[in-house]
Amino acid sequence: MLAGLSAALGAGLLWGLVFLTPLVLDDYPGFMLAVGRYLAFGVLALGLAWFDRKALMQLARADWVEAAKLALIGNLLYYATLASAIQLAGAPVPTLIIGTLPVVIAISANLLDRRRGGGEDTVAWPRLIVPLVLILAGLLAVHGDSGHGLSAGGDDYLLGLAFAVLALACWTWYPIRNSRWLRARSPGLARAWATAQGLATLPVAVLAGLGYWAWGLFGAASAAPFDWPLGPQPQRFVLMCLLLGLAASWLGTLLWNKASQSLPAALVGQLIVFETLAALLYAFIWYQRWPSLAEAAGIALLVAGVIGGVRVFSPAGDTRAATQ
């Protein structure tokens, strides 16, 4: 339990860097930031594959197909739909929708476990509902303090909401599917599986970058053209992409795999809240300000919900429930 929680915390701290990068490179399109990140992830995976060559050679064709699915849906499709949602509907509402991930993943994982006949990972709904309500209340408090209205209007807004829901579905599917694959195999594959997903992401990132270049070449890009391929700050862009590729993508995925292999899927889903907390911390540091009262209250609720979820799934909690 402690090793799994530590790994999930580390993954959240690294994934929070993804939210800081658009602030550091605010003159870059979000799509190119995603392409640069996953291109760096794939190139780094090529070098790291040497250290995991024995484990990678043992992966069957079905395993590589699974890695490609996880890379496509959990990486590229998720970020493409999330970026489109923000462009079409503005940031507040899509961010709120994505912020419900810990709740949606935990509910989905528990439902799937129950449909499969239950098991050691299944938790009674009355025990799960309290930490989930605390997490949801915390997310509403944090994201609802944006100061923006929720005015809707036009087909673009509705399409943006649809993209946000699709992004939510992508990253609800990813951790559950990833956890199922890892927990069905022997321990020790977390690092090799992270490398395998990087290798599967590389060709798709290359095609996406070339597609963006061709799109701009034929005049279909936005009014503010992008200086393809490295943009107006090439050195900073390359350094940030390498940082994200190594830290947020590869190492973050490795740590998340360790957590997924050690903890029940419903608990792992709740621990994605660490990413939200890390993103808030980095944003407060970047803007050089303290959180507002609403933000502080939301963070406290998030932490309380995670602690409650850990106690629900801990061996001690199971023992107490069995004796009552």
Q: Measured between alpha carbons, how far is 180 from 49 in angstroms, rounded to an integer? A: 23
pLDDT at 295 over 90: no
Segment 38-64 shows an average pLDDT of 90
Question: Looking at per-residue confidence, does 90 or 299 come out higher?
Answer: 299
Q: Of 36-50, 214-228, 250-264, 272-286, give the lowest mean pLDDT range.
A: 214-228
Closest CA to 105 of 20, 22, 196, 177: 177
pLDDT tens for residues 252-283?
A: 888 988 888 888 876 777 787 788 788 878 88
> What is the pTM (predicted TM-score) of this model?
0.73
Mean pLDDT (whole number) for 288-297: 84
Residue predicted with more confidence, 212 or 62: 62
Assess contact for 291 and 284: CB atoms under 8 A.
Answer: yes
Which span out of 15-24, 59-68, 90-99, 128-137 was modeled with the highest average pLDDT? 59-68
Residue 222 has pLDDT above 60, yes or no: no
Residue 48, pLDDT score: 86
Say if 323 falls within a structural domain.
no
- Give pLDDT, residue 317: 47
Tokens representing residue 3 in the block:
């090793």
pLDDT of residue 119: 57
- Burial class (CB within 10 angstroms; exposed 0-12, middle 13-18, buried 19+) of 114: middle
List the one residue out of 96, 130, 179, 169 whose CA is nearest residue 306: 130
Is 167 inside a domain boundary? yes
130: left (phi over 0), alpha (psi -120 to 50) or beta: alpha
Contact 208, 108 (CB under 8 A): no
Domain count, the chain: 1
3-state secondary structure the chain: CHHHHHHHHHHHHHHCHHHHHHHHCCCCCHHHHHHHHHHHHHHHHHHHCCCCHHHHHCCCHHHHHHHHHHHHHHHHHHHHHHHHHHHHHCCHHHHHHHCCHHHHHHHHHHHHHHHCCCCCCCCCHHHHHHHHHHHHHHHHHHHHCCCCCCCCCHHHHHHHHHHHHHHHHHHHHHHHHHHHHHHCCCCCCHHHHHHHHHHHHHHHHHHHHHHHHHHHHCCCCCCCCCCCCCCCCHHHHHHHHHHHHHHHHHHHHHHHHHHHHHCCHHHHHHCCHHHHHHHHHHHHHHHCCCCCHHHHHHHHHHHHHHHHHHHHHCHHHHHHHHHC
User: If you average pLDDT over every residue of the chain, what do you get?
Assistant: 79
pLDDT higher at 152 or 32: 32
- Alpha-carbon distance 117 to 122, whole Å? 9
122 occurs within a structural domain: yes
Q: What is the per-residue pLDDT across 76-105, written as a single tens digit (0 to 9) for each?
A: 888 778 777 777 776 666 767 777 777 787
303 burial (CB, 10 Å; 0-12 / 13-18 / 19+) is middle
Confidence of residue 143 (pLDDT cuts 50, 70, 90): low
Report how far apart the first and last C-alpha atoms of the chain are (Å, whole number).
Answer: 23
Q: How far apart are CA 131 and CA 3, in angstroms?
A: 21
Note whether residue 321 is domain-resident. Answer: no
Residue-wise pLDDT for 104-129, tens only, equals 877 787 788 777 665 555 667 787 78
Predicted confidence (pLDDT) at residue 14 exceeds the cutoff of 90 = yes
Domain that holds residue 305: 2-313
Percent of the chain with pLDDT over 70: 85
pLDDT range class, residue 149, cuts 50, 70, 90:
very low
Model confidence over 230-254: pLDDT tens digits? 888 889 999 988 998 888 888 888 8
Query: Could you give the CA distance from residue 193 to residue 179 in angstroms, rounded to a whole number?
Result: 11
CB 301 within 8 A of CB 138: yes
320 within some domain: no
